[in-house]
Structure 1
Amino acid sequence: MSLLILLLGIALLVVLITWARLNAFLAFIIVAILIGLFNGMNITAITGSLQKGIGDLLGSIIIILGLGAMLGKLVADSGAAQKIATSLMQAFGKKYIMWALVLTAFVVGIPLFYNVGFVLMVPLIITLAKRYNISAVYIGIPMLAALSVTHGYLPPHPSPTALVTQYHADLGLTLLYGFIVAVPAIVIAGPLFATTLKKIKCQPLATFAGKDIPDEELPGLFTSMFTAFLPVILIATSTIVKLTVHTENNFTKIIMALGDPVIAMTVTLLYAIYSLGIQRGKKMQEVMMPLAEAIKDIAMILFIIGGAGGLKQILTDTGISNQIAAGLQGMNIHPLLAAWSIAAIIRVCLGSATVAGLTTAGIVAPLIATTGVNPSLMVLATGAGSLMFSHVNDGGFWLFKEYFNLSFKDTIRTWSLMESIVSIVGIIAIFILNYFIA
């Protein structure tokens, strides 16, 4: 009965947003309340779940999104994004710019949390699209495919890292196999899939596009790239130290602190204010104005993502994920397919890739000992399933939709299908890899 209520709730959410044209945040709140009521929750419990869900999700990302929006606006307005875009175009040409962005996103995505990578890379995509009259979706989807793959498959991201521990897998082998699986998943879900999206028109958030600035007034290439990718440098350095240095001292403590995503973004924004503003002769008040504008531009995005978090918490508190998992646990299927299927169904129902991965781990971990399946491949199979078909209950869906300013239909056609291809190609590649190493 709970699953039927969930399906009806998701259908109502789609109707309210697409047909009734209701604000997405309000639609989330209405649907979450109704799902809670029909599952026997009282109003006090429902509002408590909403507050917890919104607070948990926004609490984990609002600082990063806020600082990222400020940094993106500053990088755009200062001409740094234009300088990077121009240099990429000169180095790779318009024909190969997509591949350059995919490679950049993959490198960036390994050490960075998805949300950090998103807010760093999207302003560059928007600037390139505007300056060279390229579809933002056409060059954006491949970049986001690379970020999604690193988020779902590769440590040190939260879910894969936790899965390595829970499955007692080898971290090095998981990374090696993850890279092998990542290549076809990114290529097929990214550049190949994007060739079908050339006709999709969108007008991304103009706040991150910046204005055309004469070349002689642009900041230097080193300053532009170092400022834009300083969070990558800080977090990557911290990750390397964490994996290779096992003796804690004052130096490693400082490196670890600077590698925390919130600290890294704060330090980068302060440096950007200096390098792209004060150092170039701008007054502090002049630098601060676009930062305030950036927050205004993403305010509704934050509310919508918060609404998705509230709905996710209602679904968790009603026990729907456990019911789904319990129904699948007794099925006689290959352990890799079981891990992928359970993670995929929980992901579709609850929205969160991390929750889907960690929930699945508790269900399928015993299968490793009883079947002898490779634990590193189980990590990847679970990660692949956790990326399946992102839709209205996933904050990433709304982040993409609102930044790229797409219709609901086109978001499903682009973002949701891309995530599904990443997931499906991933499990196919995992089975092929299992054939050779089993």
Structure 2
Amino acid sequence: MPLVVVGISVLALLFLMTKVKLNGFISLLLVAVAVALVRGVPMEKIPDVLGEGVGGQIGDTLIVVGLGAMLGRVMGDSGAAQRISGKLIDTFGLRRVQVAMVVTAMLLGVTMFYEVAFVIIVPVAFTIVRVTGKNLLWVGLPMSIALSTMHSFLPPHPGPTAVAATFHASVGLTLFYGLFFAIPFGALIALVWPRLPFVKKMNPTMPKGLVSERTFTEEEMPSMGWSLSVALVPVVLIAFAAVYDMAVSESNPARPFITFIGSAPVALLLTLLLAVWAFGPRIGRSLSEVSASCNSAAQAMAMILLVIGAGGAFKGVLVEGGISDYIKDVTEGWNISPIILAWLIAVILRIALGSATVAVVTAAGVVAPMVAGSGVHPEMMVLAVSCGSIAFSHVNDPGFWMFKEYFNLSVVEAIKARTTYTTTLAVLGLGGVLAVEACLDALGV
């Protein structure tokens, strides 16, 4: 049975990494090859499947994560990250630093991909930890949870936007309805999870090379205006492009240019170039010093990117092995509420494949024929599959490895922290979708 293969492969991966202490990159590739063989992928095709899985995942993340890490290190080595973190602490107070991280993450996360917003905010979180001595997860976990909620639940992020067309749903209304439960649920879990006993026991150290070890004096740091302005450049570019894309027609002559500068890689590249000057020659630092910061960040990212890429290979063989098709065939005959069915199929696919995008697209394809005569609002169907796609993030999800490596956790610790919060968000999200649907029906909307 395909799902048994998935379960055994996950256990094998955990054994290799926790008991044998084998490197994560090697473990993922070994298990991916074994799964491909068991699922009948032709031997001569396996290298191509692995290569496509690694290439597809790295292609999506390398530029964003690489540029983001360099930008963070340049800001850290110049004192700009310390300036921003100090301002956040002054504004919210040391006791409410988690609230500061949640507010910041949600504002950025509405329009920015999880990975993009993560690599922009995480240097500030690292600096707060270094300056205050707080536990890394106490500061960083609320940020990650808030970003996960915005990215997975709401358009214009890829999953919800991709299936809006399938259900003939309004992207604007989907975002509007989703905000009613995404913000309170995301904030609740973000503030509760770091306080849970099994999370409080974890006290990881910060990964080396991604954060400056130096503490700057007031005079040495750039001004708050420059520090914040540079940090907000990619936010403004990406957010403006997302809003512009929803507001204008495809024939608009300015659309190609706006889309270009608002794409995450280009926005981050432009921001990094600005940061190189603003936190380099402008304040008396040589270009060689700034380049050293970029090189240090790139070296620190090497293993993180390898592990993320291997996670993509593992995901690729699961898809190639026909597991998504098997789940689709099994669930097509289930006779339950379209909302619950859409959510459940997305959850099963997410557990089996690790890919949120595959989960939402496949789940939408299975239940789309049921929506027309059901009376369910199409926007609620979009939100149902989107909420289901966040559940059970674990070792077959490349995002899991990014979370694990940045927060320097063991595999078991990452499962305890991330898998539990993503699953809880998915369950609460389903409740939110059902509640909003009931309210719309009661109001006759």
**Same fold? TM cut 0.5:** yes
**Aligned AA (1:75):** M
* Matched residue, 1:399: 402
Matched, 1:209 2:211: yes
Task: Return the alpha-carbon distance in structure 1 between the equivalents of residues 359 and 264 of structure 2.
Answer: 23
* Matched residue, 1:23: 23
Partner SS, residue 169 of structure 1: coil
CA shift in 2, pair 1:325/1:250, >3 Å: closer
Measure how far apart 1:322 and its partner are.
Answer: 1.2
* Matched residue, 2:97: 97
Measure how far apart 1:158 and its partner are.
Answer: 0.9
Measure how far apart 1:358 and its partner are.
Answer: 1.2
Measure how far apart 1:199 and its partner are.
Answer: 3.5
Contact 1:154-1:160 within 8 A present in 2 as well: yes
Contact 1:79-1:213 within 8 A present in 2 as well: yes
Q: How does 1:398-417 map to 2 (within 5 A)?
A: 398-417=401-420
* Matched residue, 1:292: 295
* Matched residue, 1:272: 275
Task: Return the alpha-carbon distance in structure 1 between the equivalents of residues 230 and 395 of structure 2.
Answer: 34
**Aligned AA (1:14):** L
Structure 2 unmatched ranges of 5 or more: none
Contact 2:209-2:299 within 8 A present in 1 as well: no
Task: Return the alpha-carbon distance in structure 1 between the equivalents of residues 91 and 208 of structure 2.
Answer: 26
Q: How does 1:24-63 map to 2 (within 5 A)?
A: 24-63=24-63
* Matched residue, 1:423: 426
Contact 1:184-1:425 within 8 A present in 2 as well: no
* Matched residue, 2:119: 119
Task: Return the alpha-carbon distance in structure 1 between the equivalents of residues 340 and 404 of structure 2.
Answer: 31
Partner SS, residue 388 of structure 1: coil
Measure how far apart 1:120 and its partner are.
Answer: 0.7
1:211-267 Cα distance to aligned partner (Å, 9 max, x none)? 111111100111111112211011111122222233756544432221011110110
* Matched residue, 1:304: 307
Q: How does 1:2-401 map to 2 (within 5 A)?
A: 2-196=2-196, 197-210=199-212, 211-246=214-249, 251-401=254-404
Moved more, 32-41 or 205-214: 205-214
Structure 1 unmatched ranges of 5 or more: none
Number of residues of Structure 1 aligned to a counterpart in Structure 2: 438
Task: Return the alpha-carbon distance in structure 2 between the equivalents of residues 194 and 370 of structure 1.
Answer: 44
Task: Return the alpha-carbon distance in structure 1 between the equivalents of residues 10 and 252 of structure 2.
Answer: 50
Measure how far apart 1:7 and its partner are.
Answer: 1.5
Task: Return the alpha-carbon distance in structure 1 between the equivalents of residues 373 and 257 of structure 2.
Answer: 43
Measure how far apart 1:378 and its partner are.
Answer: 0.7
Task: Return the alpha-carbon distance in structure 2 between the equivalents of residues 38 and 104 of structure 1.
Answer: 45
Measure how far apart 1:152 and its partner are.
Answer: 1.1
CA RMSD, Structure 1 to Structure 2 (Å): 1.4
Task: Return the alpha-carbon distance in structure 2 between the equivalents of residues 263 and 313 of structure 1.
Answer: 27
**Aligned AA (1:66):** G
Task: Return the alpha-carbon distance in structure 2 between the equivalents of residues 353 and 49 of structure 1.
Answer: 19
Percent identical residues = 37
Contact 2:210-2:300 within 8 A present in 1 as well: no
Task: Return the alpha-carbon distance in structure 2 between the equivalents of residues 250 and 105 of structure 1.
Answer: 33
1:353-400 Cα distance to aligned partner (Å, 9 max, x none)? 112111111111111113121111111110010000100011111111
**Aligned AA (2:34):** L
Task: Return the alpha-carbon distance in structure 1 between the equivalents of residues 439 and 201 of structure 2.
Answer: 40
Partner SS, residue 371 of structure 1: coil
Contact 1:343-1:385 within 8 A present in 2 as well: yes
Contact 1:185-1:421 within 8 A present in 2 as well: no
Moved more, 237-246 or 15-24: 237-246
Moved more, 79-88 or 243-252: 243-252
Task: Return the alpha-carbon distance in structure 1 between the equivalents of residues 400 and 169 of structure 2.
Answer: 31
Q: TM-score, normalised by structure 1?
A: 0.97
1:272-307 Cα distance to aligned partner (Å, 9 max, x none)? 000111211111111101111111101011111111
Partner SS, residue 215 of structure 1: coil
